[in-house]
């Protein structure tokens, strides 16, 4: 059975158009979008179905106020919103009023606003109706519940109907005298076709509208995962919502990921794990035990699931390394476990080697690490991660003069160029300093080390025999790319393999020899991997360099 979809900022509901016997219930959706904050009109409505002004005032005064309190308790700034009621069947009732006069859409509007603010997907197999009566979050009964329930029950893909509890204190005064009995009869009649959830406050409403995966995604995307540094706002439903949104994140994450993997939802599992990695990268931390916890889940999966290319790898090695760079020394082993587990093969098992002449390891973790490393330091990956950003920065740099006639102007141009490149890479302002000036001079020296040195660069800038300053800056750009690519390769190798773990290095080289064996002389392949394990970094760099050179030659034809 396929999992029901969950969509950000879309809450399904049932609206009633017309009066009395002419009343017609129509399934609809409230769609919300965040806008740049404005202290004026913060809630705008667009589309064919609108709200009468008193209803819109109530939404702005009460529902939006609750949403503000929730956001502020989570450390978020206030937002403005645009909402739209999407009603596919509205054309069939176009002769009826399309301006909503009641408050039954309070519940779906609230859900859509919270979902948009927190980037939190809402279940799409539910429909909700209800009046939010106060800023404390009370949900009160509304009219036409039987008509709405009758419209929702047969709808394909709708499994649950959320409505206000009818025994809330004082709520019955809103209904006709015989309406309670009618509602109870309608709920009883529909119980075999649809679940009915009766709620009395906004916390209960939200609990029925989101699942564990959505709660965790919101916490990761908005930065309040595990609720660190947050203070509960107040007692009552709003305090309850805070607790519902901010507790047990780690437990919810692993349970949600396990369910996604067990049901074969590769897209959902990848999305969830990627958001977790990116959250910790933004925080500048590596969560201790992440690899071990993932490995335990992977071990419990059937072999067919672990081999599924639609599911594994959960994230790219690049995203993993972005987080792993913050690992402490005592996390190095866990990082290795994580790299294997995210491929679906991280079982920590080491296959026996054939010592009769073959170096085949049959070690899935080591082989996956080799494959991931080769992919991450390939020409294509280095071009994407390093080359393209530097080339973009070079293209954006404006050079007004090609020839420079003074020593001071030359070095001033070199320093300004280097600072511009650094600023582009940093994505923001950079303060000039003696350190940056020294780095610029070092880059120039490295770029012209085999071209006559700095004096040759200065002569080129003065006389322009090969393009003047344009040529000098192009050579510096090529040198910068080479240096950054070397740093990138070093980072990948250092993070992917613990240099202090001899057994892991031997297993890595055995897997590497198995991987490239057909391209090597037999006498090399017959040697034990221990012979090469000490020099794995040099070997990997030279292998990738030669392979990239062949790739460039082939691309010419």
Number of Cβ atoms within 10 Å of the Cβ of 503 = 10
- CA angle at 416 for the pair 412 and 421, rounded to the nearest 5°: 150
pLDDT the model gives residue 173: 53
Q: What are the structure tokens assigned to 75, written together?
A: 């450390």
> 3-class DSSP state for residue 23?
coil
Helices of type H across 119-170 = 145-152
What span, in angstroms and rounded, lies between the C-alpha atoms of 524 and 36?
Answer: 63
What span, in angstroms and rounded, lies between the C-alpha atoms of 146 and 16?
Answer: 11
Instruction: List, for residues 91-107, the tens digit of each pLDDT value.
Output: 444 454 467 878 999 99
Judged against a pLDDT cut of 70, whether residue 352 lies above it is answered with no
Asked if 75 and 31 count as a contact pair (C-beta separation under 8 A), the reply is no
Greatest mean pLDDT among 207-216, 520-529, 537-546 lies in: 207-216
- 274-277 contacts: CB < 8 A, separation 24 or more? 274/314, 274/315, 274/319, 275/217, 275/220, 275/221, 276/220, 277/315, 277/319, 277/320, 277/322, 277/323
Lowest average pLDDT, out of 8-22, 203-217, 336-350, 398-412, goes to 336-350
Pairing label, strands 131-132, 139-140? antiparallel
* Residue (of 547, 501, 505) closest to 381 by Cα position: 547
- Confidence tier at 210 by pLDDT (50, 70, 90): very high
What span, in angstroms and rounded, lies between the C-alpha atoms of 148 and 155?
Answer: 11
- Confidence tier at 37 by pLDDT (50, 70, 90): confident
Instruction: List, for residues 448-457, the tens digit of each pLDDT value.
Output: 999 999 999 9
Pairing label, strands 99-100, 121-123? unpaired
Lowest average pLDDT, out of 127-131, 152-156, 489-493, goes to 489-493
Pairing label, strands 126-128, 99-100? unpaired
Pairing label, strands 24-35, 6-8? unpaired
Q: What are the structure tokens assigned to 536, written together?
A: 């794995």
* Residue (of 411, 427, 418, 412) closest to 394 by Cα position: 418
Q: Considering only residues 335 and 162, tell me which one the structure prediction assigns the higher pLDDT.
A: 162
pLDDT the model gives residue 468: 93
* Rg for the chain, CA atoms, rounded: 31
Instruction: List, for residues 418-428, the tens digit of each pLDDT value.
Output: 988 888 776 66
Non-local (6+) Cβ contacts of 28 within 8 A are 12, 13, 14, 15, 49, 85, 86, 87, 90
Q: What are the structure tokens assigned to 30, written together?
A: 């409230």
**End-to-end CA, the chain:** 49
Judged against a pLDDT cut of 90, whether residue 528 lies above it is answered with no
- CA angle at 39 for the pair 36 and 45, rounded to the nearest 5°: 65
- Confidence tier at 278 by pLDDT (50, 70, 90): very high
What span, in angstroms and rounded, lies between the C-alpha atoms of 222 and 75?
Answer: 9
- Confidence tier at 301 by pLDDT (50, 70, 90): confident
Please state the rounded mean pLDDT for residues 236-262.
90
* Residue (of 46, 36, 19) closest to 143 by Cα position: 19
- Confidence tier at 554 by pLDDT (50, 70, 90): low
Non-local (6+) Cβ contacts of 298 within 8 A are 261, 306, 341, 344, 345, 346, 347
Judged against a pLDDT cut of 80, whether residue 520 lies above it is answered with no
Judged against a pLDDT cut of 50, whether residue 42 lies above it is answered with yes
The model's pTM is 0.65
The residues that bridge with 46 in the sheet, in sequence order, are: 84
Q: How confident is the prediction for the chain on average, in pLDDT? A: 85
Judged against a pLDDT cut of 80, whether residue 214 lies above it is answered with yes
Please state the rounded mean pLDDT for residues 532-538.
87
Judged against a pLDDT cut of 70, whether residue 4 lies above it is answered with no
Distances in Å between the Cα of 240 and the Cα atoms of 200, 204, 501 are 13, 9, 48
């Amino acid at each position: 059975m396929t999992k029901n979809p969950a969509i950000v900022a879309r809450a399904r509901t049932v609206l009633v158009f017309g009066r009395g016997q002419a009343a017609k219930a129509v399934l609809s959706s409230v769609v919300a979008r965040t806008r740049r904050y404005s202290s004026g009109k913060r809630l705008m409505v667009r589309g064919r179905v609108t709200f009468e002004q008193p209803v819109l005032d109530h939404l702005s005064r009460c529902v939006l106020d609750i949403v503000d309190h929730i956001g502020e308790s989570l450390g978020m700034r206030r937002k403005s919103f645009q909402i739209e009621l999407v009603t596919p069947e509205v054309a069939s009732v176009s002769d009826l009023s399309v301006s909503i006069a009641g408050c039954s859409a309070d519940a779906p509007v609230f859900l859509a606003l919270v979902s948009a603010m927190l980037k939190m997907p809402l279940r799409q197999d539910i429909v909700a109706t209800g009046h939010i009566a106060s800023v404390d979050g009370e949900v009160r009964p509304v009219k036409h519940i039987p008509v709405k329930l009758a419209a929702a029950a047969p709808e394909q893909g709708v499994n649950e109907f959320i409505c206000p509890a009818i025994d809330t204190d004082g709520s019955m005064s809103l209904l006709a005298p015989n309406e309670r009995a009618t509602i109870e009869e309608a709920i009883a009649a529909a119980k075999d076709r649809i679940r009915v959830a009766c709620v009395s406050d906004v916390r209960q409403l939200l609990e029925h509208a989101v699942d564990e995966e959505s709660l965790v995604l919101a916490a990761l995307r908005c930065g309040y995962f595990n609720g660190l540094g947050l203070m509960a706002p107040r007692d009552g439903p709003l305090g309850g919502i805070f607790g519902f949104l901010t507790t047990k994140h780690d437990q919810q994450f692993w349970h949600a990921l396990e369910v996604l993997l067990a049901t074969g939802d590769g897209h959902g599992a990848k999305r969830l794990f990627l958001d977790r990695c990116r959250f910790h990268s933004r925080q500048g931390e590596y969560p201790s035990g992440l690899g071990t916890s993932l490995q335990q889940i992977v071990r419990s999966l059937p072999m067919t699931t672990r081999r599924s290319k639609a599911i594994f790898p959960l994230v790219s090695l690049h995203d993993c390394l972005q987080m792993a760079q913050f690992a402490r020394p005592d996390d190095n082993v866990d990082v290795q476990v994580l790299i294997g587990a995210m491929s679906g093969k991280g079982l920590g098992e080491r296959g026996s080697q054939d010592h009769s002449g073959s170096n085949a390891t049959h070690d899935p973790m080591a082989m996956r690490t080799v494959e991931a490393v080769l992919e991450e330091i390939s020409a294509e990956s280095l071009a994407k991660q390093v080359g393209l950003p530097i080339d973009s920065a070079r293209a954006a740099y404006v050079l007004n003069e090609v020839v420079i006639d003074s020593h001071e102007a030359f070095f001033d141009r070199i320093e300004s160029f280097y600072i511009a490149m650094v600023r582009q890479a940093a994505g923001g302002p950079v303060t000039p300093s003696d350190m940056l000036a020294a780095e610029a001079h070092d880059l120039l020296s490295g770029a012209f080390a085999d071209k006559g040195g700095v004096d040759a660069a200065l002569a080129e800038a003065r006389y322009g025999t090969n393009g003047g300053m344009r040529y000098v800056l192009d050579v510096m750009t090529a040198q910068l790319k080479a240096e950054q690519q070397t740093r990138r390769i070093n980072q990948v190798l250092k993070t992917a393999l613990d240099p202090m773990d001899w057994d892991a290095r031997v297993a890595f080289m055995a897997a590497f020899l198995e991987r490239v064996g057909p391209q090597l002389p037999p006498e090399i392949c017959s040697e034990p991997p221990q012979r090469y394990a000490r020099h794995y970094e040099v070997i990997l760099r030279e292998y990738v360099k030669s392979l990239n050179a062949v790739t460039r030659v082939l691309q010419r034809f």
